[in-house]
Amino acid sequence: MTNLILQVQDLDIAFQVDRKSEPFRAVKAISFDVPTNTTVALVGESGSGKSVTAMSILGLLPHNAIVAPSSRITYFGSNPGSAGGRDLLKASRDQLQSIRGKDISVIFQEPMTSLNPVFTVGEQIAEVLRLHMGMGIRQAGARAIELLGEVGIPNPQLRANSYPHEMSGGQQQRVMIAMAIACEPKLLIADEPTTALDVTIQRQILDLVASLQVKHNMSVLFITHDLGVVGDIADSVVVMQAGEIKEQGPVKAIFEQPQHPYTKALLACRPRLDARPRRLPVIDDFMKGEGRVSVGDRARGTTPGDPIILEVKGLTKTFFLKEGLFGKRAVPAVRNVSFSLPRGKTLGLVGESGSGKTTVGLTLMRLHDATSGEVLFEGKDLLALSEREMMAYRRRIQIIFQNPYASLNPRMTVGHILVEPMKIHSIGSGERERVDMAFQLLKRVGLSEQSFYKYPHEFSGGQRQRIAIARCLTMKPDVLICDESVSALDVSVQAQVLNLLQDLQDEYGLSYIFISHDLAVVKYISDRVMVMNEGAIVEMADSDEIYRHPREEYTRKLLSSIPKGYQLAALPS
């Protein structure tokens, strides 16, 4: 038996949600081991209990959590393998305090909210060193600079004096990692460390974590909802669902011979680069026991003769930032972008954050005013229309935003949200008809009739995105802009929403502009793909073509960043 650093036995955690109801069991008697010098991935959807498990290791559970007395989390510390382990669940506050940050440290999902905005990053790293390692100010400062260099921050001497907001998201996450490894921890807990990041940055962070793990001889507990990203870096995988462990084993076994249908489903519902099924498999397909639904591949691509519904010519958008008292600085967000969208097809728009892809979407909708250019919709320039003339076209181009938690008004019922656009555009002859249509649309997007009376907060992320889709459908649009519409969703939910979008396109002949930083998703859903960088088009081609024969260096770089786990995930079909 290998030496263990952490052993979780029969961990059982429940939450007392309110006084009257039964406690809700979030984690149901799970057991797993973290050996020394290995990376263990804890994989599951939102609500599977994976983050609760991590918090219980750190002793950071909220007050209403009830840990069953039989639960044990044994930390072996400096004498791994021996019986000298310490039960973290029974440790005192002081004992935990000395372990946290020093022996066990953690990286969170959102680097921006985890860093203190009023201290420089150098100071924040040095503080950890002084607290736990007893270093002096000067020594800690020097070590902080060393650490920043180690996590790949260019020019560490200079950057140590930067404030968090002066750094990009990827750099902030590197700073968080530097803080986490500052005290040479024996166990690093990474809670979704790459979910908020672009695909290229995600790649870099994953590589960094993997190399640090080897270099510092530590163990990593890597928590994620995306089985794809763990394929590269994990040694073993624990798959959780609804508080239970469904399967655990070495990474090779999990990817090549998954036993549990849930694991199979997680692997299959991620869109892949080498195949394009007509429908993505979803969790239910597997859990109901039919196994893989075999449907042929869907052909994608455009032909020159396709009727064009939307044509964009020379679209440019420049933002002006105030500088000093009178100065203005021009920040070009979109530079001379031209493309056309054939009717009933999907145009994928990929690029990193800041590439201007979202600005293109918002400018088409006239949610931003374009600086110059033309947007021809059935031959009419939308940008030249007055606000009143635009109203007639407004309903025909609709947008689905990234974050379904933010794009639905929390104070309106779903019914109100759906009926409002119909009222504005006088669709349906009266209240009665509009309500009936809302009910039909709810059914169409797979929600119950009861949803009509509920508020957005009563739904999960995927369900909310369905509501947002239903809201767009009330206006019977011709063009639908999906702005990172599935990026905030779990992989399994993402598959369901992608299937829904595909079904709607087949049924109503909608044309999509699909904006995303996730290349596998764009490849799956798009007929034509446009790659953007720094506001300009890098490359545009049919989707199979661009993935098979990328012409530009930038496109190649993007493609190579896709986690290799995807390829491993290719199931024998």
Partner 1 sequence: MSAVLRNPPLPPMQESPGLWALAWRRMRQDTVGMVSLVIVAIFLAMMAGSYTGLIAKDWNKEKGVSYANPAFLAGAENLEARSMAAKDATAKAPPVDLSDIDPLAPRYKEWEERAARIAVTETKRAEVLPFGGDKWGRDVLQKAIKGSQISIFVGLSAALLATFIGTMLGAAAGYWGGWANDVLEWVYNVFTSIPYILLILAFAAVATATGKFGKGIVPIVLILSLTGWTGIYRLMRAEYIKHSNREYVKAAQAIGASNWSRMFIHILPNVSHVALVQLSQHVVGFIKAEVILSFLGFGVPVDMVSWGTMLAEAQNELVIGKWWQLFAAGASMAILVTAFSLLTDSMRDALDPKLK
Write out the residues near partner 1 by the rule CB under 8 A: 362, 365, 367, 391, 394-395, 398-399, 401-403, 406-413, 415-416, 420-421, 424-425, 435-437, 439-441, 444, 449, 452-453, 455, 457, 468, 471, 473, 475-476, 507-508
Nearer to partner 1, 429 or 573 (CB): 429
- How many Cβ atoms from other residues are within 10 Å of residue 493's Cβ? 23
Q: Which two tokens stand for residue 14?
A: 């429940």
CA distance 93 to 502: 53
Least Å distance, CB 349 to partner 1, is 17
Nearer to partner 1, 256 or 436 (CB): 436
- How many Cβ atoms from other residues are within 10 Å of residue 562's Cβ? 21
Q: Which two tokens stand for residue 405?
A: 């938690």
Angle at which helices 261-268 and 491-508 pack, to 10 degrees?
60
CA distance 122 to 114: 15
Per-residue b/e over 41-54, b at no fewer than 16 CB within 10 Å? Answer: bbbbbeebbbbbbb
| Amino acid in the structure at residue 70 | S
Nearer to partner 1, 165 or 457 (CB): 457
The partner residues of 533 in beta bridges, in order of sequence, read: 536
CB 554 within 8 A of CB 351: no
Least Å distance, CB 369 to partner 1, is 12
Nearer to partner 1, 59 or 404 (CB): 404
Nearer to partner 1, 106 or 473 (CB): 473
DSSP secondary structure string, 146-209?
A: HHHHHTT-SSHHHHTT--GGGS-HHHHHHHHHHHHHTT--SEEEEESTTTTS-HHHHHHHHHHH
Nearer to partner 1, 229 or 362 (CB): 362
Q: In this structure, what are the phi and psi dihedrals at residue 124, rounded to the nearest 5 degrees?
A: -70, -35
Least Å distance, CB 365 to partner 1, is 6
Nearer to partner 1, 134 or 410 (CB): 410
- How many Cβ atoms from other residues are within 10 Å of residue 351's Cβ? 25
Least Å distance, CB 394 to partner 1, is 4
Looking at the chain, how many residues does it have? Answer: 573
Nearer to partner 1, 163 or 455 (CB): 455
CB 447 within 8 A of CB 470: yes
Residue whose C-alpha is closest to residue 356's, from 138, 530, 121, 164: 530
CA distance 320 to 347: 29
Pairing of strands 187-191, 104-107: parallel
CA distance 37 to 476: 56
Nearer to partner 1, 60 or 424 (CB): 424
Nearer to partner 1, 287 or 475 (CB): 475
Return the sign of the alpha-carbon dihedral for residues 73, 76, 82, 83. negative
